[in-house]
Amino acid sequence: MANCELTKSEKEIMNIIWDAQSPLMIQEILDEVKKRYDKEWRPQTLSSFLRSLVGKGLLDYHRKNMFSFYWSCMSRKEYASCMQKQLLEEWFGGSRKEFLSEFVKACNVSKEIMEEVIGEME
């Protein structure tokens, strides 16, 4: 299982990669980081983040000639699921009832929405 704990910068990189239609090279990611987040990273800085994301199991890459191409090993939905599972275990000791109760309260989920979701699950 991947390590889903990401820094803000790692999340920004993942959003760029998730939005891409094909594997990206470092320069393409740098250009998109500048465009979306108005950050100017050096290639070495981005390479450090990418190595970390590969190590966490969220990215993979292929080296061809002088270029490395990066792609996601997990979809946004899979990442969200991973985060939810970590939250459930770390903050609620695995108690699904407590987790759901707090989620419903914090997000002001109406009874109608809960009934709709339960209906979809049946």
Q: What is the pLDDT of residue 3?
A: 75
Please state whether beta strands 24-25 and 67-72 pair in parallel, antiparallel, or not at all (unpaired).
antiparallel
Total number of domains constituting the chain: 2
Q: What is the pLDDT of residues 49-94, one digit of tens each?
A: 999 999 999 999 999 999 999 999 999 999 999 999 999 999 999 9
The residues with which 61 forms a beta bridge, in sequence order, are 70
Please report whether residue 2 resides in a domain: no
- In this structure, the answer to whether residues 13 and 35 fall within a common structural domain is yes
- In this structure, the answer to whether residues 59 and 15 fall within a common structural domain is yes
In the block, which residue shows the tokens 């980081």?
33
What is the separation of C-alpha 42 from the centre of its chain, rounded to a whole number of angstroms? 22
Q: What is the pLDDT of residues 72-84, one digit of tens each?
A: 999 999 999 999 9
- In this structure, the answer to whether residues 34 and 47 fall within a common structural domain is yes
- In this structure, the answer to whether residues 64 and 86 fall within a common structural domain is no
